Amino acid sequence: KPGEQKHSKEPSSLQCMHLAVVACGDRLEETLIMLKSAVLFSNRRLCFHIFAEDSLKPEFEKKLREWPSSYTKKFEYNIYPITFSVGNAQEWKKLFKPCAAQRLFLPVILKDVDSLLYVDTDVLFLRPIDDIWHILKEFNSTQLAAMAPEHEIPKIGWYSRFARHPYYGTTGVNSGVMLMNLTRIRNTQFKNSMIPSGLTWEEMLYPLYQKYKNYITWGDQDLLNIIFYFNPECLYVFPCQWNYRPDHCMYGSNCKGAEEEGVSILHGNRGVYHDDKQPTFKALYEVIRDFPFEDNLFQSLYYPLQSKFLDTVHTLCGRIPQVFLKQIEKTMKKVYENRVIVYLGANHRY
C-alpha cells in the first residue's frame, strides 16, 4: 500500500551463505583477514554476521568500506553487540577466550537465519565457502550441526587423555569451524544429564554450564562436546581438512584427507599466525593479509606463498608443503577460469 514500509527481506539475503564470527579484544585484523579469504574465493553471495565489542564496530565498518567495489558487492554484513540471553553475562563473557561463548547463542539471536557457518577469527578459507555449505545437504533427518574431530589419534588427543566431563566420540570435536542448521537447533528437544525430559537449546545452556563449570577447560567447546555426547545423532562429523590445525602436522602428518585433497580450511589456533612456532601457518596468513585485492592471484599470492614455504622446510609442518598448497592452487585456477569465462562472455560478438 502507498506509504507502507516494506519488511520483506531482500532476495539476495535469502540466497546468500551466512557466515558468523565473534571478535573481541585484539582480534580485529585476524577477523578481517578471515573475511578477506572468504570473499576472495567464494562464488555465491555472502552474508557476514560479525559479533563484536562496541569499540571495534567503527573499525570494522571503516576497513570493510575500504575494500574495492568489485569485492564489496559480493557480500553484505551486520555487526551485532555481544549479548547473552540467559545466565550471567559477565560469566559467559569470561568463559575461555573473551566473548567466545557468544557462538552458543547464535540460534537464539539470529532467529531469521536458517543455516549458518560459524568460524573462529583465526580461520582462513583456502577454497570457496560454497563447498562446505554443500555439506548442509548431506545432513540426515536428525543432524543439525557439523564439526571436525578434535584429534585424529586418541592416544595423543586432549579429550581422550585429560577430559573430566563427557565428550563426543573417541577424541571430542573442535568447535572452531561449525556448520549449523539453526532452524533444527531451535526446534529440537535435547537429551541431557539434568532432567529426564528434553530441553530446548536455550533452556539447556546455563544449567549445563553450572553443572560442569568446575570441570571444563576449553569453555564453550567443552559445552558443545557435552551436548553432543548426550545427542550424538544430532552431529555430522566432517573430515580434518575442513578444520586443519597445527596438531595435524606438528607431531607428524595425521590428517589423511589433507594429504589427499589439500587443506580446505586452515585454523591457526595456539596463536601461530603471530609467533614463529609454525611458520607454514604464519606464511599463509601473511600472504593473504598482504595480497592486494585487484592483483593477479598467482603472481601476488601463490608464488609469494611458494617462496615463503621454502623457508619452512626445517619444520614438521613445512616438510609437507603440498598439503597446504594443493587445494589453494586448485581454487585459484577455478577463480581464474571463471574470470576468463566471464570476460570472454562479456566481450563475445556474434
Sequence ranges of the domains in the chain: 17-238, 241-345
Question: Counting beta carbons within 10 angstroms of the beta carbon of residue 158, is it exposed (0 to 12), middle (13 to 18) or buried (19 or more)?
Answer: middle
Given the C-alpha cell 583465526, which residue does it identify? 122
Query: How many C-beta neighbours within 10 Å does residue 333 have?
Result: 13
**CA distances (Å), 167 to each of 28, 164, 189, 230, in order?**
31, 9, 19, 9
Q: How far apart are CA 308 and CA 296, in angstroms?
A: 18
Q: How far apart are CA 307 and CA 348, in angstroms?
A: 38
Given the C-alpha cell 578477506, which residue does it identify? 36
Residues 173-222 pLDDT 10s: 999 999 999 999 999 999 998 888 899 999 999 899 889 888 888 778 99
Residues in CB range of 290: below 8 A, 6 or more apart: 304
Report whether 48 contacts 142 (CB < 8 A).
Answer: no
Cα atoms found within 13 Å of the Cα of residue 262, Cβ hemisphere only: 14
Mean pLDDT, each 10-residue run in order, the chain (350 residues): 36 77 94 98 96 95 96 96 80 71 93 97 97 98 97 80 83 95 97 89 91 84 94 97 96 93 96 95 97 93 94 93 95 83 56
Residues 319-333 pLDDT 10s: 999 999 999 999 999
**Fold adopted by 17-238:** Spore Coat Polysaccharide Biosynthesis Protein SpsA; Chain A (3.90.550)
Q: Taking the model in full, what pTM does it have? A: 0.91
C-alpha cell of residue 155: 592416544
